[in-house]
Amino acid sequence: MKKRYTLTIEILIAVIFGIIGGIIFVCCYEKKLPTQGVGSLADWVSGLATAFALIFAYVEIKNSREQFEKEHKPQLMVYTGWKDTLFLKKNKNEVGSYDRKLDLHGIQLHIIPVNKGLATGIYRYLGICRRKNLKEVSFLVKKARNNNIDIEGIDKLANLICYDPADVGQDDRNYDGTGMSLLYPDNNGLFQTIESNHVGKIINKKQDDIVNKLGINVYEDVLEVIYIDPNMRIYPFEVEPYKKPESTVEISGIE
């Protein structure tokens, strides 16, 4: 559709400039306007004005349509932050008896996807990579989108991205050792539909898992959280280095 519009406008411009060029040539050669036998000067001016008005109207309609489509589409934004959490849980051993148990998660990367656009979007969490490897990750994903990636490329991509088996629909009994599920998952439940101005599934990823996979220093290295849509377009979002809290909050009064 876009190519057809472009071709139409190019033909109209060529015709108009052809007419103008012909008029200029005749004016220079005959020393008069080529109006005799083909209409008056007013007819020529009116015709050219109409042609320019049509071109102007077409361009305005085309720009308005493109602006409308740009505004009425999904717009994924992902907000991240490091958090250090400590939970107190009640474990029921018998009727009327509860024990409190510490559940120390450690430092985690808190990931919140938000669709700020005016249309519903469909996305999947892909994983986390170093910022310096983002260009290579994008290149490999693009090769996969063009059906031009081999098993070595898939393996390289899997080594550049930190992800959990659950992120690609795998578990201990159904594990993909090739890394193919990273880009070609069979579980449609991995994709989430985020409506306009809504928050998607919030994710927490352990710092230790990220450090062990990517070999990073969370206090210095900049990371990228990556989402992907069904058409294999990736959406990277920056993760700033971790900063240790200056103080901690103690909760008292728990019996």
pLDDT tens figures, 185-206: 888 889 999 999 999 999 999 9
In Å, how far from its chain's centre is CA 12?
36
- Which carries the bigger pLDDT value, residue 112 or residue 38? 112
**Backbone phi and psi for residue 102, each to the nearest 5 degrees, phi listed first:** -75, 135
pLDDT tens figures, 205-247: 999 999 999 999 989 999 999 999 999 999 999 999 988 766 5
pLDDT tens figures, 109-156: 999 999 999 899 999 999 999 999 999 999 999 999 998 988 899 999
Domain residue ranges in the chain: 2-70, 76-239
In the predicted structure, residue 100 carries a pLDDT above the cut 70? no
In the predicted structure, residue 254 carries a pLDDT above the cut 50? no
Query: Which segment of 16-25, 51-60, 71-80, 115-124 scores lowest on mean pLDDT?
Result: 16-25
CB 118 within 8 A of CB 72: yes
Q: What percentage of the chain's residues is helix, strand, coil (to nearest 5)?
A: 40, 30, 30
* Rounded Cα–Cα distance for residues 34 and 83 (Å): 79
Predicted TM-score (pTM) of the model is 0.68
